[in-house]
């Protein structure tokens, strides 16, 4: 399968997972807790099932937050694989603030080469490949359009439709103060200190708070200049946003080494990083 075909498959997965999530979101939300005390809902499980079933039709294995027990000895030789967070921002989901996403990335030799992030509440889609660049599609006819087009993923016309209904990132914005984006639920003391340093350097600094992988998308869009994440994240939290940010001309760098984040490490915990 070519990269465009894989992109359409990932988009279809994300939209269908979003439909499953919204079915739970619009009813009573029952919360369990995992061993690390992080929350888990029926929406996480159903979205994971939808995505896993569809991605199994592709040639590549899947590493998901809800299926993370695959031993390193098995996955270390994967050249290409899907890295998935079926519901990123479970805390935002439980709060019902809409700031949660479906994240799907394709990793090649430790580098994210394709990213899809879908926001079910707003029906907003971000997607990228290294060759095509990054796009945002904010269209409430999204489901209908993809139902028509997904059956012939290799039609050259399809990319034209996506590009026609979407906007290439980053977008141009009017003059604004230097802007940083930070987590709504995980603002660490280190991050606050970093933002204070930005204020010393730039004077006025506008701060945008957001949940889930939307923070990387905000930088990719050009709405913010920097996203410092000096608190723990996992690889599935960032991979799709990393792909989209890089395709939009941004960088996702290890805070200590200044090197790009890499994926499929033995320990799936990310280091502190900066998106800029």
Domain borders along the chain are: 3-169, 178-275
Residue 10 has pLDDT above 90, yes or no: yes
Sheet containing 111-119: give its strands across.
Answer: 62-64, 80-88, 101-108, 111-119, 124-129, 133-138, 167-169
What tens digit of pLDDT does each residue of 24-51 get? 998 878 777 776 667 778 899 999 999 9
Instruction: Give residue 148's pLDDT.
Output: 38
Residue 215 has pLDDT above 60, yes or no: yes
What tens digit of pLDDT does each residue of 138-149 get? 865 555 344 434
Burial of 86 (C-beta count, 10 Å sphere; 0-12/13-18/19+): buried
Instruction: Give residue 147's pLDDT.
Output: 44
Q: Where are the alpha helices (DSSP H) in 39-84?
A: 42-55, 72-75
Q: Does domain 178-275 have CATH number 1.20.1250.20?
A: no
Output the pTM of the full model: 0.90
What tens digit of pLDDT does each residue of 113-161 get? 999 999 999 999 999 998 889 999 886 555 534 443 444 555 445 555 5
The CATH architecture one would assign to domain 3-169 is 2-Layer Sandwich (3.30)
* Between residues 199 and 252, the one the model is more confident about: 252
Averaged pLDDT of the chain: 87
Could you tell me the pLDDT band of residue 184, with boundaries at 50, 70 and 90?
low
Q: Output helix, strand, coil percentages for the chain, rounded to the nearest 5.
A: 35, 25, 35
Instruction: Give residue 183's pLDDT.
Output: 73
Instruction: Give residue 91's pLDDT.
Output: 87
């Amino acid at each position: 399968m070519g990269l465009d075909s894989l992109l359409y498959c990932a988009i279809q997965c994300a939209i269908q997972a979003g439909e499953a999530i919204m079915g739970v979101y619009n009813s009573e939300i029952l919360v369990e807790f995992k061993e690390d005390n992080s929350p888990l809902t029926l929406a996480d499980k159903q979205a994971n099932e939808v995505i896993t079933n569809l991605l199994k039709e592709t040639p590549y294995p899947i590493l998901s937050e809800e299926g993370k027990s695959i031993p390193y000895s098995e996955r270390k030789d994967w050249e290409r694989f899907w890295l998935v967070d079926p519901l990123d921002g479970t805390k935002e989901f439980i709060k019902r603030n809409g700031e949660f996403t479906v994240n799907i990335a394709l990793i090649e030799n430790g580098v994210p080469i394709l990213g899809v992030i879908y926001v079910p509440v707003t029906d907003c889609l971000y997607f990228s490949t290294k060759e095509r660049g990054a796009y945002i599609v904010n269209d409430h006819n999204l489901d209908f359009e993809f139902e028509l087009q997904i059956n012939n993923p290799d039609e050259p016309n399809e990319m034209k439709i996506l590009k026609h209904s979407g906007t290439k990132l980053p977008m141009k914005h009017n003059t604004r103060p230097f802007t940083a984006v930070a987590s709504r639920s995980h603002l660490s003391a280190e991050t606050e200190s970093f933002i204070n340093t930005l204020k010393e350097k730039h004077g006025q600094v506008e701060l945008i708070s957001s949940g889930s992988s939307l923070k990387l998308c905000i930088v990719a869009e050009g709405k913010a200049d920097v996203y410092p994440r000096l608190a723990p994240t996992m690889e599935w939290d960032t991979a799709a946003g990393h792909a989209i940010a890089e395709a939009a001309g941004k960088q996702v760098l290890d805070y200590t080494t200044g090197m790009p984040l890499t994926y499929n490490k033995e320990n799936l915990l990310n280091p502190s990083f900066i998106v800029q």
